[in-house]
Homo-oligomer: A and B are copies of this chain.
Amino acid sequence: MNYFKFEVIAKSKKSRARVGRIFTPHGIINTPNFVPVATNGTLKLIDSITTSNIGVELMFCNTYHLMVHPGTETVRQAGGLHKFINRPHPIITDSGGFQVFSLAYGTVKEELKSKGIKKHTEAVVKISEEGVLFRSYKDGSKIMLTPETSIQAQKDLGADIIIPFDELPPYHIDQSKLQKSLDRTHRWEERSLKQHLKDKNNQAIYAVVHGGIDKNLRKKSCEFLTNLPFDGYAIGGSIGKNRSEMLELINYTMPMLPEDKPNHLLGIGDLESIDACVRLGIDTFDSSHPTRCARHGQIFTSEGTVKILQNKYKLKFEPLDADCICYTCQNYTSAYIHHLFKAREMTGLALASIHNTHYMIKLMSNYRNLILNEVI
């Protein structure tokens, strides 16, 4: 039985953009699409049912956080993540690698803000060929994250798409260390795949292409990983210190990925990057950017991003976006949302989060139409 299938419906003649459909046991994901991040099994301030009602087709949950709490064994006992959080639609989980190496090295973003490479924090006890031993920030207990335990955790969670365990090296790293990190990541991904294939559990697994900003290593990574029977390919690791470096790298990488398999760009979700990357052929994007923007009062509208705390919204008795049919815009005015933000009412943050998430879903639907209509 084909529990996972990908089909390309249309390819642009003007770019590498494409429209496709990913079939999963919990439904279809139309691509290109946006994948909001529900770190702990909920979007920030939006419950699962509301998330479904917004039209979110794929949700991203973090294995690391769910291992720390409530523990993947608890989720397994609940009948899996879909049942635990009450989401009947597709879910993707990551491996925990990104979070655990962020604990060790700091994030690439922090690093690029000149905070330098962090030393191992006390949270990370040991990194070895076997994997990473770290301490839970909740109760201090030690947790071993290896390719095998990460995949087992993701089996417990039961997401439709899972991700192999990988290393996230710092941005500033010399060539030989990056090469060594890549080789280890490849060994880890292969071990992850092997573990996955022991019991597919109706799940698909996407490889994560690494190699930092070194084109030769990116090429090597694509070659290595596309020779293994992964169901899709994610682009991960350090992908550049700014958007142009990132776009160049993605432009270079995309032709090396198989066209008949879905791809995913990890952790990128700002509007400008999505606009460029859809044209480069990216199928799905995960990011917490839209909901984080919402909580800071940055509202996505058809006329650009607006700052709802500005005084000019005090008397704007119209929806956040005249063109929007989301729950927030159907029911409330900009003036009211402005007031809720001024009064520091979390209700305002929730309503803004619903709006921005809906905006992303509508935006991606528009991209699909633009591709189908040969506009882009």
A contact set with B: CB distance below 8 Å: 40-49, 65, 69-70, 74, 77-79, 84-86, 138, 314-315, 317, 327, 331-333, 335-336, 338-340, 342-343, 345-351
Contact = CB atoms under 8 A, between A and B. Distances in A.
A333 B70 contact: no
One complex includes copies of this chain to the number of: 2
Nearest to A77: B315
Contacts of A79: 317
B69 A342 contact: yes
Contacts of A335: 70, 74, 78, 84
A70 B49 CA distance: 32
A318 to B, nearest CB: 11
A350 B317 contact: no
Given A41-B336, A69-B343, A74-B339, 13 more contacts: A42-B348, A45-B347, A46-B347, A47-B350, A69-B342, A70-B335, A70-B338, A74-B335, A78-B335, A78-B336, A79-B317, A84-B333, A84-B336
Nearest to A332: B86
A101 B144 CA distance: 57
Contacts of A85: 336
Contacts of A317: 77-79
A11 B317 CA distance: 45
Nearest to A330: B49
A347 B291 CA distance: 13
A240 B346 CA distance: 33
Contacts of A315: 74, 77
Nearest to A138: B342
Contact of A65 (B40, B43, B343, B351): B343
Nearest to A339: B70
A136 to B, nearest CB: 12
25 contacts: A40-B340, A40-B343, A41-B336, A41-B340, A41-B343, A42-B347, A44-B345, A44-B346, A44-B347, A45-B350, A46-B347, A47-B331, A47-B332, A47-B347, A65-B343, A69-B343, A70-B342, A74-B335, A77-B315, A78-B317, A79-B317, A84-B335, A84-B339, A346-B346, A346-B349
